[in-house]
Amino acid sequence: MTHHPTQSPQFFLTAPSPCPYIEGQFERKVFTHLVGDKAPEMNDLLTQGGFRRSQNIAYRPACETCRACVSVRIIADEFKPSKNMKRILRRNADLIGAMHDAEPTTEQYSLFRTYLDARHRKGGMSDMTVLDYAMMVEDTHVDTKIIEYRRRGPDSFITGKGQGELIAVALTDKMADGLSMVYSYYNPELEDRSLGTFLILDHIARARAAGHPHVYLGYWVEGSRKMAYKVRFGPQEHLGPKGWDRFDTEAV
């Protein structure tokens, strides 16, 4: 077993590879391992500094000629949903999310595969096996949760769980100052529900209920259609050279 020191993390730099968001650009990432007893504390500090987590790795862009990737976090206690977002909340009022420890299931993987095949067939995750999925969920040394969304049952107010088929899943890190949405997926056939938006709205509600100020959404790339949805949730802050600055979402 490889031993990774926990007191002074080592950082590494990847080789250049084609950027998935901007044609003609090449991306590089700086990364470190999140392991040991100090991993949750380190994950908090790094996420607040613009890093993202993937399994036991924390990484952030370190591109030589581009600074397009911008870390985004929603100010949960100030968030006000738009009229369309309110409609989405009403449309999904029959769903309930049950949060539990990060443990993979065959039911999750089946939905995950359906989502990838419909939405990201040519993406970097398209060939993930059930073992790869299990590693994505389980390989964590921080406080990671799985939230499973199903339709409400008659006893949901007692159990806190839904019933029936699995409709959506969120892999989420609980942090000292909020929630970090690591990865989420859902039934792609239920387009009228706008489940991607609903999952973010649900995380904002969870953060606010817990008294946490932020929901971390990862990176936004201006001009990228894949990332455009992230700036619809305001007010929010973007990480710049001088720290986190309030961002005017209405200007986009």
**Distance of alpha carbon 214 from alpha carbon 178, whole angstroms:** 5
- In the three-class reduction of DSSP (H, G, I as helix; E, B as strand; rest coil), residue 8 is classed as coil
Ordered structural domains, the chain, with CATH: 12-69 (no CATH), 73-251 (3.40.630.30)
Supply the pLDDT for residue 23: 87
- Condensed to tens digits (0 to 9), the pLDDT of residues 155-202 reads 877 777 889 999 999 999 999 999 999 999 999 999 999 999 999 999
pLDDT band at 252 (very low <50, low <70, confident <90, very high): low
- Condensed to tens digits (0 to 9), the pLDDT of residues 60-116 reads 999 988 999 999 999 999 999 999 999 999 999 999 999 999 999 999 999 999 999
| Cβ 169 vs Cβ 185: under 8 Å | yes
Q: Has residue 30 got a pLDDT over 60?
A: yes
Q: Tell me what the mean pLDDT of segment 244-251 comes to.
A: 82
Supply the pLDDT for residue 226: 83
User: Would you give the end-to-end CA distance of the chain in angstroms?
Assistant: 48
Nearest to 133 by CA among 151, 115, 119, 150: 115
Burial class (CB in 10 A: 0-12, 13-18, 19+), 62: middle
Angstrom CA distances, 225 to 51, 113, 220, 228, stand at 22, 23, 10, 5
**Distance of alpha carbon 202 from alpha carbon 180, whole angstroms:** 13
pTM for the model stands at: 0.92
